[in-house]
Chains A and B, each alone.
Chain A
Amino acid sequence: MAGTGTAHLRDADDIVLRVEGLVVEFPVGRTGLTVQAVSGISLDVRRGETLGLVGESGCGKSTTGKLLMQLLRPTAGSVRFDGVELTTLSGEALRRARTRMQMIFQDPISSLNPRRTVRDVVLEPLRIWKRGTAAEQSAKVDALLAEVGIDPARAAESRAHQFSGGQCQRISIARSLVLDPTLLICDEPVSALDVSVQAQVINLLEDLKAAHGLTLLFIAHDLAVVKNISDRVAVMYLGKLCEVGDCATLYRAPAHPYTRLLLDSIPIPDPAAPDVPVTADGEPPSPVLPPSGCRFHPRCPAATELCATTEPTMRPVGDDQFVACHHPLVAGLT
C-alpha cells in the first residue's frame, strides 16, 4: 500500500467481520475534486480476537471505523458482519443488524448527551429496542454501571459534566454493552485520557472482553497501547494498509519501512536507551493528491523507481504477517 490486495484475509469459520476493498470518497470543497480518505481497505476479525488498527492522524483509521458502523456509507467495497452484508442494508434492517456491533469514541465527554443523566444515557438503547420490563432494564443498567466502576445511584442524578474524562469513558463503555454486542469498535478510546487513567480503561476493556465474550477492533495512534491490547495489528498509511500481522511478530520484526519508522519514533522512557536514528523525514502528504505507486515512497528510505510507479499488493512474509511493500525489511524477499 501502501497498497491493496486481500492476501492477508483468512479463510476461517469464526470470522465475525470481513471487510473487502473498502473505499470512501469525499468532495473537496467545490473544486469538483474528491479525496479518498479510505482507499481499498480489506480486513477481517475472528471471534474473540482484538484487531488493532494503527496509523497517524489523517490516515483514515477513524473513518474506517465509521464506515464499518455504516455511520458513513462507503463509496465501494463490502462489509460482512456476522454473515450479513451491511453496505446494501438500509432503514430498519440496518438498524437491527448493527445493534450487535457497537462503537466507543475518542472524546469521552462529547460521547454523552450533556442534557440527560448518565443513567438515562445507558438506559436509552434498551428503551429504543423495548427490551424487557422497566425493572429488568433497570437491573441490567445498574449491573453494567457497577461492572464498569460507576456508582448507579450517582449515575441516576448526575450528568456527563459532573464526571471526569475517565469516568465518562467508562459510562460510554457501559452503554455500548447494554445490547450485548458481539463486536466493539473502539475509536481512540484512551487517547484523551491521562496515562494513569488510560491504564485503568485498558484493563477494564480487557476484563469486559473476557467477561462478555467480545471481539474488539481497537483503533489508535499509540503503538504501545495497540500492542498491549491487540492479538493482530493492521498498520494504515494515507488511506491504505501497509502491513498486517500477528501482534508480537509485527512489533518484533516489522516488514514495512513505515512500521519500522513508527516504532523507531516512539519516545522510550529510558535515558540510557541507545539512540535510534530516525529513518525518514517529512510528514504524510495530503490525501487529496496522494503520491503515485506506493503512497509511502516519498518518505521511504528504501524507495526505488518501482515504488514510485507501481502500487505494491499484500503478500505474505512469514507466519501470519503480510506486507504491501516492494522491498520489505525481511531477508530474502525484495
Chain B
Amino acid sequence: MTVLRRLRRAGGWFAATWLVALVGLAVTAPWLPFVRAADEKVRVGGKLQSRYRLGPGRHALFGVDNSGFDIFARCIHYARNSLLVGVSATVIGLLVGGALGVAAGYFRGWVDRIVSVVIDCILSIPALVLAIVLVSRLDDIRQELPGLGWVTRRWQVVAALSLLAVAPLARIVRAQTLALREREFVLAARSLGATSRRVIATEILPNLVPTMVTVASTGLGLLIAAEGTLAFLGVGLGESWGYLIEANRRRLDKAWWATVFPCLMLFVTVMAFNLLGDRLSRRFDVREVIT
C-alpha cells in the first residue's frame, strides 16, 4: 500500500517536472544557446549533415533528419504547437462542454433532451473521421467566405479537437450534475430561496471542478495525441510532433532516432498529463465520510 502510494506520488512529481520543463523549454527556445532554430541545418565542421547522417550524440542530441534539421530542436520548438492546440481545445471543451452539461443536468426537460441528442450524435461518429472532415471543410469555408482569414490551420485543428473534447466532457458533467442536484445540500439551498444561478455557482460548480480538472488533464493528453494523429494523416499542423513522426517514419530502419524521439516526446507528455490527472483526482477527493 505504501509502496503503491509512494510510486503514485513519484509519478505525480515526475509528471509535474516534465511538463514544467517542457513548457519552459518550448517558450524560451529561441533564446536558448543549446537549442538550434527549427529551420537551422546541422553542420559539423562546416559540412551539412543531411540524409540522417548524424545519430543521437554530441552535435545533435536526438540526431538529424533527411534535410539535416536537428530533431531535438524541432521537438522543442514544435512542442509549442502541440501543447497550444491541446490546451486551447481542452479549455474550449471545458467551457462549452461544462456549460452544456450543467444546463442539461440541472434544468433537465427539453434542454437535456436537446443536449443529449447532440452529444450522442457527435459521439456516434468516429472521432478521427469527424476531425478530418471538419478540418478540410473549414479550409474550404475559409477560402469561400471573406473575413475568415484568421482561421488558420492551427485554429481549424483547435476547432476540430475541441468538438471532440466537448462531447465527453458534457456527458460526464451532465451525469455529475444530475446526481448533485438531488443531493440534500442542493435541495437545502433551493428551499432557502437561492436562485438557480446561485445554486449552480455556489453549490454545483465547486463540486464539479475536481471531476472537470481530472477529466480535462487526462483528455489533454488524448488531444495532443489526436493532434499527432491528424498531423500524421496530413491534415494537422505542419509543425508538430505528429508531423515529425509522419515525415521520418519511412526511414525507421535506417534512422530510428528521427521517429523514436518525437514518439517518445509525445508518449511521455501524454503519460505526464494522465499521471497528473490521477494525482489531481486523489488530491481533490474530499472525504465525505467520517473516519
> Measuring CB to CB, which residues of chain A are less than 8 angstroms from any residue of chain B?
66, 69, 71, 95-96, 98-99, 101-103, 105-107, 109-116, 121, 124-125, 128-129, 159-161, 163-165, 172, 175-176, 179
Docked CA distance A106–B184 (Å):
8
Given contacts A69-B191, A129-B193, contact A114 B184 (CB under 8 A): no
Determine which residue in A101, A110, A164 has the highest number of CB atoms from chain B within 10 A of its CB, and name it.
A110
Given contacts A106-B184, A172-B188, 16 further A-B contacts (CB under 8 A): A69-B191, A95-B194, A96-B193, A101-B191, A109-B289, A110-B184, A110-B288, A112-B185, A115-B206, A124-B202, A125-B193, A161-B287, A161-B289, A165-B290, A176-B188, A179-B193
Contact B202 A161 (CB under 8 A): no
Contact B191 A161 (CB under 8 A): no
Contact A113 B207 (CB under 8 A): yes
Docked CA distance A39–B286 (Å):
40
Docked CA distance A106–B289 (Å):
15
Docked CA distance A87–B192 (Å):
17
User: Which residues on the B side are within 8 Å of A179 (C-beta)?
Assistant: 192-193
Min Cβ gap A220→B in Å is 16
Cβ-based interface call for B260 (8 A): no
Q: List 25 A-B contacts (CB under 8 A).
A: A71-B190, A71-B191, A95-B195, A96-B193, A99-B193, A101-B191, A103-B188, A103-B191, A105-B184, A109-B288, A109-B290, A110-B184, A110-B185, A113-B207, A114-B185, A114-B286, A115-B207, A116-B206, A124-B189, A128-B198, A129-B193, A164-B290, A165-B290, A176-B188, A179-B192
* B contacts with A: majority SS: helix
User: Which residues on the B side are within 8 Å of A69 (C-beta)?
Assistant: 191
User: Which residues on the A side are within 8 Å of B193 (C-beta)?
Assistant: 95-96, 98-99, 125, 128-129, 179
Cβ-based interface call for B20 (8 A): no
| Smallest CB gap from B183: residue in A | A110
| Smallest CB gap from A66: residue in B | B187
Cβ-based interface call for B246 (8 A): no
Docked CA distance A99–B202 (Å):
18
Docked CA distance A66–B185 (Å):
14
Docked CA distance A165–B193 (Å):
25
Contact B185 A113 (CB under 8 A): yes
Docked CA distance A129–B194 (Å):
8
Min Cβ gap B212→A in Å is 13
User: Which residues on the B side are within 8 Å of A112 (C-beta)?
Assistant: 185
Cβ-based interface call for B203 (8 A): yes
User: Which residues on the B side are within 8 Å of A106 (C-beta)?
Assistant: 184
Given contacts A99-B193, A128-B194, A161-B288, contact A114 B188 (CB under 8 A): no
Docked CA distance A112–B184 (Å):
7
| Smallest CB gap from A115: residue in B | B206
Min Cβ gap A309→B in Å is 39
Determine which residue in B206, B288, B289 has the highest number of CB atoms from chain A within 10 A of its CB, and name it.
B288
Docked CA distance A172–B202 (Å):
17
Given contacts A105-B184, A124-B202, A128-B198, contact A115 B191 (CB under 8 A): no
Contact B194 A124 (CB under 8 A): yes
Docked CA distance A239–B140 (Å):
62
Min Cβ gap A323→B in Å is 32
User: Which residues on the B side are within 8 Å of A98 (C-beta)?
Assistant: 191, 193
Contact A161 B286 (CB under 8 A): yes
Chain B 203-230 interface 0/1 with A at a Cβ cutoff of 8 Å (1 = within): 1001100000000000000000000000
Min Cβ gap A111→B in Å is 4
User: Which residues on the A side are within 8 Å of B190 (C-beta)?
Assistant: 71
Docked CA distance A95–B286 (Å):
31
